Amino acid sequence: MKDFLKVKNIDLYFGKEKILNGLNLEIEKGSVVAITGESGSGKTSLLRVICGLESPSNGEIILDTQTLFNDKISVPTEKRNIGLVIQEKVLFPHLDVRKNIEFGISKKNSKEDLSNEIMEKLNISDLAKKYPHELSGGESQRVALGRSIIMTPKVLMLDEPFTGLDKKLKTKIYPVIKSILQDNKITSLMVTHDLNEVRALADKCFNLQSGKLVEV
């Protein structure tokens, strides 16, 4: 199968420290790839580079035949059609759960149907009218996941997305997330320390060490 996302020879420095060292990664469309590695190894930095939130010193990023980054091009983050879910569960405090999830959907006529479907799958339908300050950490994380998934990005970046969930809920939610990603053919790149997440969700796993990826 043709590679959908290509990351080629990426170097990233923070000051004089080299975080990513000629890093290469290729992901097929619709697959889920996990990245593991020690804290500070550059896992989150890699996601931020692909999203356009960090600028590497050189290399190339291609998504679905479109060049997002090279020595002449740097497509802005908002035009890359990449979703990012992070540990901090960033929600809009003035919007209820439904409006948080529907934020950014352009299909006005089907907004409610889409949000109903995703809330049901994530088991948060009963939270629809609640506001972020009324939610637990795990509930907030599911809302953040729902908001990113419903926008069907070309690539979904997941940075320790299930940190706030207890073990029992994680076991329930893994097959749901896997099913949603497969049904919508969403290509995903996931950073995690949890090998159970890797087993449940990932098609491939790489370990980031010394600024390079090694397939596990």
Domain-wise residue ranges, the chain: 3-209
What pLDDT is stored for residue 3 in this prediction?
Answer: 81
Nearest Cα neighbor of 82 from 1, 27, 138 is 27
Checking if the pLDDT of 80 tops 80, the result is yes
Per-residue pLDDT at 1 exceeds 70: no
Q: Do 156 and 146 contact (CB within 8 A), yes or no?
A: no
pLDDT value of residue 199: 94
Say which CATH topology domain 3-209 has.
Rossmann fold (3.40.50)
Taking residues 172-193, what's their average pLDDT? 90
Q: Tell me the pTM.
A: 0.89
Tell me the β-bridge partners of 209: 212
The region of weakest confidence among 1-5, 19-23, 116-120, 200-204 is 1-5
- Residue 69 CA to residue 12 CA, distance in Å, equals 13
Residue 190: C-alpha distances to residues 6, 51, 88, 104, 138 (Å): 16, 13, 15, 22, 18
Tell me how far apart the alpha carbons of residues 7 and 49 are, in angstroms, rounded to a whole number: 10
The count of other CB atoms within 10 Å of the CB of residue 203 is: 12
